Amino acid sequence: MSKYWSKLAAGLEPYVPGEQPKDRKYIKLNTNENPYPPSPKVIDAIKAAVDENLKLYPDPNGVALKMTLANYYGLNQEQVFVGNGSDEVLAFSFMAFFDPNNPILFPDITYSFYPVYAKVFKIDYELVPLNDDFTIPIDKLLKDNGGVIIPNPNAPTGSFLTLEFIEEILSHNKEKVVIVDEAYVDFGGVSALTLIDKYPNLLVIQTLSKSRSLAGLRVGFAMGHEDLIKGLDTIKNSINSYTLDRLALIGAVEAIKDDEYFQDKKNRIISTREKATGQLSKMGFKIVPSKANFVFISHPTVKAEDLFIWLKEKSILVRYFRQPRIDNYLRVSIGSDEEMDTFIKALGSIIT
C-alpha cells in the first residue's frame, strides 16, 4: 500500500489465484485447467491470424463469436455477451445487475472471487451457509434479496443442483437477476440455458477455460434475455470497448465449432474423474459427488494440509484452502489418466 492509493484500493483484499510456479515441473492439479491441449484447429486458426491485421483493433462487439455461440446453443445473437474470461463477465455482471444496500445472496463456500467483486463494487452480500454435506439449502435462497449468484456445479465442492432447483430459485426471485455460473457445467451438469426464454432474470455464464482447454486465451460468455445482454454491453463500453483481442476471437470461434474434439476430451475427463473417485474412496477418502473437472476430498486420518505439503514435495500441486469448514479438504483437478495414476500412487505411499 502507498499513500497514493485511493481509499478503495487500500481497502481491497484481492482474489488469490492458484499457484503457477516456474521453479520446476509439477503435475498441476490445482487450478482446474484442462490436461489436454486445445483443438489443433484453434491453434492453426490463431497462427494463421498472426499477420499485419494485428495493427487494427478487433471487432468491439465480437459478432463472429457471438454468432457462433448463438448458433451452437440455439439462441439469437442478441442473447449472447462475450468477455475476457468469465471472471470479467462476472465482474461486469456485478456492476450491471446488483446495487449497494440490497444484499445479494451466495453460498458461504463458493468461488472466492464473488466476495471480492462485491467489495470492489460496494455491493452488500449475505452468505448462505451450505448444508453439512455441501449441498445448497435452496429454501435459504428464496427470501427477498438484491440478486443471487451460484456456480452450478459449485466450486470448490463440485456438487450440482438440478434444473428443478434452479427453476425454484428463479421463480422466487423474479424481480432480481439470478446468475448461474456454469464454468464447469460441461463435465456432467445440465445447463440452465433452456430456462432463458421463460425467465428474463436469468443470466447463464460459461467459459472456454475449462472444457475447451483455453484458460490461456481468456474467453468467457454470458447468455440471457437481450435486456440483460444490453446491460452488460453498457458496462463493457463504459470501461473497455475491446476486451477480446483478434486472436482470442478467432481461436474461440474454432473451439466452439470443433464439437467432436470438445466431446471427446470432456468425456475423457469425466471417465478419469469416475475412475479416480473409485480409487480415492477405496483409500478411505470422503469425496463430494462431483459433476466438475475436480474432486473435493478429505481423509479421516491424514490432514489435508499435510497432504498438500507432502504432495508438493513430490511435484504434485493440488489446491488447499485455509478457510473455515473446508480446511481439511483438498480440491484436486482431474488431469490425464497418467497424471491421476501418479497422484494416486503418491497418495498410496503416505496413506496406508
Which residues contribute to the site for ligand PLP (CB under 6 A)? 32, 85-87, 111, 151, 155, 181, 183, 207, 209, 215, 220
Helix locations, 52-189, DSSP H: 63-73, 85-97, 113-120, 163-172
Closer Cβ to ligand PLP, 209 or 243, answer by number:
209
To ligand PLP, the closest distance from the beta carbon of 282 in angstroms equals 28
Cα–Cα distance between 321 and 315 in angstroms, integer?
Answer: 19
Cα–Cα distance between 41 and 45 in angstroms, integer?
Answer: 6
Closer Cβ to ligand PLP, 138 or 215, answer by number:
215
CA dihedral 127, 130, 131, 135 (to 10 degrees): 150
List, as one string, the DSSP characters of 211-260: TTS-TTT--EEEEE-HHHHHHHHHHHTTT-S--S-HHHHHHHHHHHH-HH
To ligand PLP, the closest distance from the beta carbon of 13 in angstroms equals 18
Cα–Cα distance between 280 and 292 in angstroms, integer?
Answer: 16
Closer Cβ to ligand PLP, 32 or 159, answer by number:
32
To ligand PLP, the closest distance from the beta carbon of 208 in angstroms equals 7
Cα–Cα distance between 194 and 75 in angstroms, integer?
Answer: 10
Closer Cβ to ligand PLP, 184 or 308, answer by number:
184
To ligand PLP, the closest distance from the beta carbon of 247 in angstroms equals 16
Closer Cβ to ligand PLP, 152 or 173, answer by number:
152
To ligand PLP, the closest distance from the beta carbon of 302 in angstroms equals 26
Give the distance from CA 54 to its chain's centroid: 29
Closer Cβ to ligand PLP, 181 or 186, answer by number:
181
Helix and strand counts by DSSP (H, E) for the chain: 11, 12
Closer Cβ to ligand PLP, 141 or 347, answer by number:
141
**Cell numbers of 115, please?**
466476495
Q: Which residues contact 143 (CB under 8 A, 6 or more apart)?
A: 105
Element (H, E) at 147: none
To ligand PLP, the closest distance from the beta carbon of 1 in angstroms equals 26
To ligand PLP, the closest distance from the beta carbon of 87 in angstroms equals 3
The residue among 325, 264, 260, 334 whose CA lies nearest residue 295 is 334
Closer Cβ to ligand PLP, 147 or 220, answer by number:
220
Closer Cβ to ligand PLP, 235 or 347, answer by number:
235
Q: Which residues pair with 319 in a beta bridge?
A: 331
Cα–Cα distance between 125 and 114 in angstroms, integer?
Answer: 9
To ligand PLP, the closest distance from the beta carbon of 212 in angstroms equals 10
**Cell numbers of 52, please?**
499485419
The residue among 192, 220, 258, 272 whose CA lies nearest residue 90 is 220
**Cell numbers of 89, please?**
463477465
**Cell numbers of 167, please?**
427453476
To ligand PLP, the closest distance from the beta carbon of 34 in angstroms equals 11
